Amino acid sequence: MTHHPLARWIDDALATIPLRTKSLIVTVFGDAIAPHGGVVWLGSLIELLAPLGINARAARTSLFRLAKEEWLNASPIGRRSVYGLTAAGQRRIHHAYRRIYDAPQEAWNGEWQIVFVPEGALPQKQRDELRRDLLWEGYGAVAPGVFAHPSASAEGLRELLQQTGSEDKVVAFRASTLDGAVPRPLQSLAHHCWRLDRVAADYRRFGERFRPTLKWLDASETHDPQQCFVLRTLLIHEFRRILLRDPQLPAPLLARDWPGRTARALCREIYRRTLPPSEEYLLCTLQTPEGDLPAADPGLHQRFGGIAGDGKEGGAGLPAAGAPARNRTRA
């Protein structure tokens, strides 16, 4: 196995990519387990995580912490334990993973969502928390106490303000770009407020790291299921980490050669090739209290715009979770 170039790439990636066990487990649940119902025996989960370099002790410790943070439920059944996503965990994953699998906004009507935090309106700690959450949601700090986003969800903003207890202390409104405004100054504003140079560099590194794997996948008609699962997981984990820093601005605010487009296309192609064998590995490895892992939700194949067909980018292939919920517990 270690003589294959993809196997050597995996060994190198596991040794050099900074991987936090808890965060990696969230990636596995969100990308791989959630479409299959989101509930598995602990023993089979530990077996699944082993090729990612996660030993049983590290897995148990991280799963315990994720349960305390209400991502997962741990339920004893006899002398065994079963882990599954909580309702809150499903909502968090639904919210975060739509950004991964759905296409970013191309068209833009020129509207901005503005949040104005008056000086002294909030205690400093609460003000800092609100700022952190707004930045995490992709808002840019355009001036002291002023945050803006060109395509954020109004419903998501209302929920964020409610959860931070600041809905009656800040001013939120919509504003429109003046007719005839040229796009170049807006692109400069976006570049400055969102530090897009750093995000662009992350996307370029992503491409440099993962592009060779596509060549190796295309060079063979058969692929090792375990290797494909590891590659798929590392691919989505790294792409997700970049997206947490990417506000996903609409196309008119980005440069024509924005590397995020190339990175997304690469991610889609690798994902499309690794999905069938990696699903085979999941079905052979994971067990549930009812027996074998159930078949995946049909939405799995609609990720990245339809990886088994030619559909347009749509649903994220996640369990229905109602309105996306904000929670400041990150993983």
Domain map (residue ranges) of the chain: 1-110+177-331, 111-176
Neighbouring-strand partners of residue 265 = none
Say yes or no to pLDDT of 272 above 60: yes
Query: Per this entry, what is the length of the chain?
Result: 331
- In DSSP notation, 34-102 reads GGGTSEEEHHHHHHHHGGGT--HHHHHHHHHHHHHTTSEEEEEETTEEEEEE-HHHHHHHHHHHHHHHS
What architecture is domain 111-176?
A: 2-Layer Sandwich (3.30)
User: Backbone phi, then psi, for 54, in 5-degree steps?
Assistant: -105, 115
Could you report the per-residue pLDDT of 129-177, keeping only the tens digit for each? Answer: 899 888 878 888 888 999 998 877 788 888 889 888 888 999 999 888 7
Residue type, 304: F
Q: State how far the Cα of 239 lies from the Cα of 186, in Å rounded to an integer.
A: 26
Grouping H, G, I as helix, E, B as strand and the rest as coil, residue 65 is helix
Could you report the per-residue pLDDT of 53-93, keeping only the tens digit for each? Answer: 999 999 999 999 999 998 999 998 888 899 999 988 888 88
Could you report the per-residue pLDDT of 83-129, keeping only the tens digit for each? Answer: 999 988 888 888 778 788 888 777 788 888 899 999 888 999 899 88
In this prediction, residues 28-32 reach a mean pLDDT of 96
The DSSP symbol for 223 reads -
